[in-house]
Amino acid sequence: MLRSITTTIILVSALVATTSCGILSNSPSDAVTAYVDASRAKDAESVKQLLSKGTIEMFGTVAQAKGVSIEELLLKEAAFAPEKIELGKETIEGDTATVEIRNSLTGEFDIKIPLVREDGEWKLARDVYTRQVIGK
């Protein structure tokens, strides 16, 4: 379960990173794909650019508690980046969205990645995802 959550978080981070590597996050799905690509490339700065402000704050708190930088924390997570992801339904409601990802353990599109639009760009809201997972 923890590995699945970590993989999902890494997927989201990788998707965000790809968008900031020259691929605009014109859609939530583009942002997720960019994040995964950036994570696989171990491009912490690009990953960071694809994360929402709330997520950056969350990572800042965790990084400070561990005595590392946010970038170091993101690079550690990048080690779990999946080779391939399959995106499902994208749902947009104003400045929030979700993108479904196929769960490699269940085969179902039961992982829903939340995103927010900030300054016209879609960003992964890992802080929202973390609260949702902890609340289950």
**Which pLDDT value is given to residue 82?**
83
pTM of the model: 0.79
**What structural domains does the chain harbor?**
2-135 (3.10.450.50)
Inform me whether the pLDDT recorded for 94 exceeds 60.
yes
Q: What is the pLDDT of residues 11-67, one digit of tens each?
A: 444 444 443 444 456 899 999 999 999 999 999 999 999 999 999 999 999 999 999
With b for 16 or more beta-carbon neighbours within 10 A and e for fewer, the 3-36 pattern comes to: eeeebbbbbbbbbbbbbbbebebebbbbbbbbbb
Q: Quick one: pLDDT at residue 95?
A: 97
